[in-house]
Structure formats: C-alpha cells, structure tokens
Structure 1
Amino acid sequence: MAPHLSRRQLLGLSGGAAAALALSACGSSGSSGGGGGDGKSFSWFMWSGSNSEVDAWKHVAQTAGKATGTTISFQTAAFNDYWTKLTSQAASGSTPDLLALQAQRAPQFKDLFVDLSPKLSAMGVNESDFDTNMLNSLKIDGKLLALPYDFGPLVIFYNKTAFQKAGITLPTVGWTQDQFLDAAKKLTNGNTFGFYAQAVIDSVIPWAESQHGVQAVDSSGKLTLDSSEWADTLSWYQKLITEQKVAQQLPAANSTASNTNQFLAGNAAMYIDGPWSLINAKATAKFEVGIAPMPVGGSGSKTVTAGSGFGVAKSVKNQDLAAKAVAALVNPDNEAYLGQQGRAFPARTAQQDSWYSNNGLSDAKTVMDYSIQNSESYRTTASWTQVNNTFSKYAVPAFNGSGSIDDLVTQTMAQSKASS
C-alpha cells in the first residue's frame, strides 16, 4: 500500500524529516551474515514517511530484538525510493536481512524471500491469528514470503458534512450504485464534484468486483483487462467524467496523492481509499469524514484487501533466527502498538480494536467488518509495476474522452505480455 501517516506523523512532516529519512536510507545494505556478522544481528529495511514514523519502527525493532535476543538495526527510505533501492540491492546481491513487502509486489520480488511456511511452528506463529485474505496475499505458489503487519479493504471515503448539507441520506451497508450516482450528481456544483476518479487501476478494481465479480488478474494469475466485463466497467467509469460529469477531468500529471488532496480540499465529495488514510483524513479535513462500503452493483458490494508484511532475505545465514525476529516484529504487543499509533490497521485480528479505540474510529467498525467480509485478496502479476505505469499513462486520455478505452486496454495488455 501507499505509505501510511498517522496524525502524529502528518504533523511531524518537514524538511528535517525528509533529510533524516534520506540519511537513514543511506546506511549499510546489510550482508549475508546479518547486520553484525554474528548471526544474531539483523538489518531491517522498511519504508517511512516522517521522523515520528521512523521512531515508531525503531520502537518495534527494539521490542522485537529484546523478545528474540537479537539486535535489529532499522534502515529506511521513502516509499517509492524503497522499491528502487531494493531492486538495485537485489541485482547486486546485497539486500538487508529483513525486508518489507507490499502484497501487490509479492509476485515481482518473490525470489528474494525465504518461504516461512515450514518455519511457522518454530516461530510461534499461528496462521489463524491473522486475517486470512491478507495472509494469502503474501503467499506465492504456496510459499509464505512475509508475515503481514497491516491490511485493509478499499472503501468509499465521503464528505459527511457535504452529504448532510445537501440533505442526502448518508451511505450505509447496502447502498447501491444508483444511490452513489444520485448522490454524486447532487454533490456536483461548479468546480466541486461528487466523486474523484483516478487514472490508477486500484481505483477501478473495486468497481469491477462489485459490478461483475472480477479483478484485473484472475485466479490463474492472468491479466484480464481485455474481457467484456472489464470493457463494461471501464466504459462506466469513463462516463462518470465524460457523460455524467460527476468527476472532474483528470490532469495530465495525475499523481497518486491527487485523490486524497482533492478530497481534503473539499473539491471532491467521494473517492476510493484504504483505512490507512482515515486517521489523517479525520485529522486534516475541515469537515466530517465518513467511510462506506462499495456500493452494491450486479455482483453485490465487493472489494479487494491489500497490505504489507515482513520477510527474511534468502541471503541470511541464520534464517531460523531471522524468521523468529520477523515473528517478533508482528507479535501481539507490536501489532497493538502500531494500531494505537495509527500506523497500521493490524493484520492480527485480536489487535484490531487498538486501531478503533485509540484513534476515535469506533464509527468505522461496521463498515470495516462488512468490507473485510466481502473482500478478496488483491491479485497481481510479476510485472505489476509495468502494468500500473502503463495503465495510468493511457487512462488519463481514455477517461477524459480524448483517448479510447480500447487503446488503454491494448497498451496495458501488451506491456504485461512484454514484461512477462
């Protein structure tokens, strides 16, 4: 997922934070013998977005180190830089010992990770303690690459204040796509729009799920954007901008943060996001923020679940101890801590209440429970980065009406085949 920033982390963002992150990312890359070469010291590489977030991860590292009799040295980089650096480290054979892994990128980086499945008993880990969809999304070919620390279903964020001022019934479990469209029309006025459409595949997949019960990648691992179901969903999505005019024309430089920015600025009353953004939205918005499940379509109210976890690099000599260190990173105490800090919606089900109770989010529980129950693991391919980039490039003109849906699909499918 995208980097998760709590209210504390948001307030801590500054030039100094960026400098600190740059410096921390320049530490040693680790080695095959572990961070200290004694078999009990490990380097751990994870993305971060602020000084306070770094502090949270250092706390987790210290707690895990004490629990396993190891020393875990934390290294970090900004989210996008993390993947660039990890790719170069993999090419040179110098990855750190413990690695963070986003579920969507698991197929791409699967060869870097030790299979944790046969080690779970010795690690003191029960798979049943974790959300099933999230755990499965970190498995490739039956191999568990990482233990999840967070996850979340993609849901609808909405401007509760705007709904109330317009006299629109607030969305709840069971609301339909017709009700969504009706609300979006009533909330569109001048430069304010009812919905923010994005040129990223993440924002379209939940609609395809709810309308036709399909993801972009089928259960066999094949990209299926060229199906009739996807043609229908992409056309419907395009019409939100070109015909219904409830979403603004997409800018050429459509950044991944544009949906959040437009929503928080009050320029769009609804958009799709995950629970990692809810605390920030409530802390930052000058209006009351609510979340709703995906509107019911032809296949019901369905969505996808995504998140991240931590695994062991194959280059580590003492893989058994490293696996225990990973288990400690996501032990119940650390999961509860991350939930309390707003850094993660815990992947351990027993610790999820910490996210609700410590961050004033009790009103979100019904929606979260329903959306988790009606979600699937987010499926991707080994060339998902290329698929994402190509889709985003051609989606802007396609959704704006200056290009075609056919071209968007053709180009994305061709890129997928070329990268496979």
Structure 2
Amino acid sequence: MKLKQFIAVAFTTLCLGAGTSRAQPVELTFANALSLPQVEPYQRAVDEFNAANPDIKVKMINTPWVEYWQQRRVDTASGKLPDVWLFVPGFGAEWLYGNKLLPLNKYTDADPTINLPDANQTMLKYMTLNGKLYGIGYDFNGQVVYYNPKLFDEAGVAYPKDGWTTDDLATAARTISKKLNGNGRKVWGFAGASAEWVFEGWFRGFNSRMITDDGKYGANNEGGAQTISFFMDMIKDGVMPIPDQKDPNAQAQSLFIGGTAAMALGVGHATYIFSDAGVDFGIARLPVGPAGQVGTGLGGAYVISADTRYPDAAYKFLAYITSGPVLAKVVTTGVPARTSAWGKLSDRMTEFAGKVQGFEPFNAVKGSFQVMDIQKRVLSEVWNGSKDVPAGLAQIATEADAALAKAAAK
C-alpha cells in the first residue's frame, strides 16, 4: 500500500510540475547592418521588448553593410534567413521579388494599433507588391533644393516657394549668376545633378522614367532628353558646374558651404552638414516639372522571412520596432518613417521631412544599381560635352536593358 501511495504522490507531483513549469520562450533573430553609434539604441530597444515579452527572446545580429548582403545570400542558400531583418530597396529586390518575404496583410488588417496612415507612405508603396505588404519602413529620404537666402537677397530674387516650377528654378539660377558674377567673383546659380536614384524623380517630372514598371530603362525618349537638357543648358550657360563624376553631392555641398552656389540639390544628411557648418540656408521642395511634381523617395524597412518558424512572434516584434515611440529613439541619423516619431528631430530636419512627403518610391528592381552606375558613367561624357544627349541616352538604354535583363534572369 505504501508503495502504491508513493507512486501516486510522485505521479501527481510530476504532473503538477509539468503543468506549472514555464514554456521555453520563442527565439527570434533580428539582423541589422548598423553603424556603431546606432547599435546601442537598437540593443536597448530589443532589451526592453524582451523584458516586456518573456515568451519571446529576440537576439540582435549586427553585420557591416557589405558583408550584410553577402550573409543574406548565404542564409538564403542554406534556408536560414533571420526571422526579422533590415531591408533596403534595390539591395533587397531579389528577396522581395523572389517570394522570400512574409506578407503582412493578415496581421496588419487585424491589428488596430499598427496605424499605417502614420507610416511613411512612400515606403509602404515600395514594400507593396501585387497588393501584398511585405515590410514597414524605419526611415526615409528624398531630395530637396537648399538655397542661400543671402545670395538670393543680394541678387533681388524671390525665395523658392512650394509649387515653383523647373522654369522658375532655371530663371532664378540664371538671374543670380548674371547679377553676382564679375570682378573676379564666380557664383553658380545652381549645383548638383546626381545620376543615382534621385534622378528618377527628375525624369518623372518630365514625363519619363529611369526604370519602368516592366523593368527596362525608360529615359531614352523625349522626356528623358528634356530632363538631361534642363541641366545641360545651365551648364552651357555657365550657371551650373559640370557635375563631378566621383561625387557630385560632395561637390555641390562644398560650393554651397563656400557661398559660391546659390542653390544645391541634396538629401537629408545635407541638412546636418549645412547646420554643422554654420551656413544660413533655406529648404525648398523640388520644383514642379512639365509632367507634375518631381521627387523620388527611398528608405529602409524591416521585413519577416517567409520561412520563419514563428510568424506571430516575428510580427509582434516588427510592429514594435517600427512603432513611433521606438523609431523616435533608434533612428538617430535620418528621418524616422513615422510622422509620430518626428518629435525629437531638430526644426530643420522636421522641415526637410515635410518637404519630401508624397514622393514616389524609386523603382528599385534587381539590377537597378547597375543602371545607376551605367547612367553615371555615360552622363559624365554628356556633361563634359564629349557626347550629345541622344547618343548618351541611347548608349545608357542599350547597356541598362542588358544589365536589367541579366539581373532578372538570376
């Protein structure tokens, strides 16, 4: 009898112990490519999430930028992509178009707290493919016109206003150069024409495209020629310097800081650069072209791997890490991709952020970065006058279409 009682007690104790023991937490990997100053705020956010969600344990992995994308390809080949990971359009196109990401609609449609209207709409557009949402942005960027109020005042030219046109920009640049040049003084009315992703916005403003929706070079046409000619005419008139082949952005910034360029094209980080340099500047939204508002936006997002073992937990973390309160803490070098997270931005960065709202997403398909390299190389010959506009666009189209087709076939 005693033996039977012992067995019964032991069995009961075992069962109670099994029923009251805590299940092991779900483990998620969170992959990033952060610079050193960004690591601490992100790790702190991860720690806070883990503390608030004992049933989930998130481990952050940080890899240098170049190695990051190489590692994602290794992960893909081995079937071990991270659960939640940093995604940037263009670099990540092969995963977006290759069905490697988890659609989020099932979760966002049922989540009353996700507040997608608060999220950057440019990034939501880019991360939506065939009606399915695959990621939520964490930051975003775009191009604006920075202008020097002192030079505008000296030349008696009105400051740029929202709704100004490409003709208004060219007229202001020519007027300033004409009035302020002479007696050994050289003032460029305008500087900066990068052949990178921002240039698609200018093409769109002239009713053209850098990369079409079907993945081909779309600027070898009248609109594309008008776009290039818009800048070429200012170069020929001595109003705009020939863009530096290596770094036209740095060239424009240097001239602007030195007070020898009245206007300079630039993206968000130029706001920091000019502020730190003590330069007085204004920020203008890009002008309206013949076909409408120019402007292309781009940024980063977080995505979930399609083969994650824990989609529910992964979505819970993704919604957290892309929420307004968290983005306000972790995005320290740009503009958070939620309007509610702008509270800690400087006044100038908030102004910049407002100027790039509503931009169209850059069509960053597989091969788009090769197209930028081709365009940059060939346009350098157009800018310096060794190749005319039609010949340059024809060459870009031939090389770009081949690069896009090759990338798409991989």
Q: 1:232 to 1:359 in 2, by over 3 A?
A: same
Q: Distance in 2 between matches of 1:83 and 1:261?
A: 32
1:210 aligns with 2:205: yes
1:417: which partner in 2? 405
1:390 aligns with 2:384: no
Q: Is the 8 A contact 1:98 1:313 kept in 2?
A: yes
Q: Distance in 2 between matches of 1:90 and 1:387?
A: 25
1:116 aligns with 2:104: yes
1:65: which partner in 2? 50
TM-score, structure 1 as length reference: 0.76
Following superposition, the deviation at residue 298 of structure 1 comes to: 1.3
Q: Distance in 2 between matches of 1:271 and 1:88?
A: 41
- Pairs within 5 Å for 1:12-411: 40-49=26-35, 51-69=36-54, 70-110=56-96, 111=98, 112-121=100-109, 124-188=113-177, 192-212=187-207, 214-241=208-235, 243-254=236-247, 258-266=251-259, 268-274=261-267, 276-338=268-330, 341=332, 343-352=333-342, 354-355=343-344, 358-361=345-348, 365=351, 368-369=353-354, 371-373=356-358, 375-404=359-388, 405=392, 406-411=394-399
TM-score, structure 2 as length reference: 0.78
1:33: which partner in 2? none
Report the secondary structure of 1:361's partner residue.
helix
Q: Is the 8 A contact 2:124 2:137 kept in 1?
A: yes
Deviations 1:302-344 (A, max 9, x none): 32222211011234321221121111101231133346x4x34
Q: Is the 8 A contact 1:281 1:289 kept in 2?
A: no
Q: Distance in 2 between matches of 1:60 and 1:263?
A: 38
Q: Distance in 1 between matches of 2:228 and 2:124?
A: 29
Alpha-carbon RMSD across the aligned residues, in angstroms, is: 3.1
Amino acid corresponding to residue 312 of structure 1 in structure 2:
I
Deviations 1:117-150 (A, max 9, x none): 2222566524333233321211223332211122
Q: Distance in 2 between matches of 1:238 and 1:418?
A: 31
Amino acid corresponding to residue 143 of structure 2 in structure 1:
L
Following superposition, the deviation at residue 169 of structure 1 comes to: 1.8
Q: 1:226 to 1:125 in 2, by over 3 A?
A: same
Q: Distance in 2 between matches of 1:61 and 1:199?
A: 37
Q: Is the 8 A contact 1:68 1:325 kept in 2?
A: no
Q: Distance in 2 between matches of 1:385 and 1:379?
A: 11
Amino acid corresponding to residue 359 of structure 1 in structure 2:
S
Q: Is the 8 A contact 1:58 1:74 kept in 2?
A: yes
Q: Distance in 2 between matches of 1:301 and 1:227?
A: 19
2:17: which partner in 1? none
Report the secondary structure of 1:151's partner residue.
strand
Q: Distance in 2 between matches of 1:412 and 1:222?
A: 8
Q: Distance in 2 between matches of 1:166 and 1:90?
A: 58
Q: Distance in 2 between matches of 1:192 and 1:53?
A: 39
Amino acid corresponding to residue 401 of structure 2 in structure 1:
M
Following superposition, the deviation at residue 287 of structure 1 comes to: 1.1
Report the secondary structure of 1:350's partner residue.
helix
Report the secondary structure of 1:115's partner residue.
coil
Q: Is the 8 A contact 1:65 1:325 kept in 2?
A: no
Report the secondary structure of 2:301's partner residue.
strand
1:11: which partner in 2? none
Following superposition, the deviation at residue 173 of structure 1 comes to: 1.0
Amino acid corresponding to residue 361 of structure 1 in structure 2:
R
Q: 1:283 to 1:87 in 2, by over 3 A?
A: farther
Q: Is the 8 A contact 2:90 2:369 kept in 1?
A: no
Following superposition, the deviation at residue 360 of structure 1 comes to: 2.4
Q: 1:202 to 1:268 in 2, by over 3 A?
A: farther
Amino acid corresponding to residue 120 of structure 1 in structure 2:
T
1:13: which partner in 2? none
Q: Distance in 1 between matches of 2:234 and 2:78?
A: 46
Q: 1:170 to 1:407 in 2, by over 3 A?
A: same
Following superposition, the deviation at residue 170 of structure 1 comes to: 1.5
Q: Distance in 2 between matches of 1:215 and 1:161?
A: 35
Deviations 1:331-363 (A, max 9, x none): 231133346x4x3423223333x15xx41238x
Which structure 2 segments of 5+ residues have no match? Answer: 1-23
Deviations 1:164-191 (A, max 9, x none): 4444322111222233123323555566
Report the count of equivalent residues: 371
Report the secondary structure of 1:372's partner residue.
coil
Amino acid corresponding to residue 229 of structure 1 in structure 2:
G
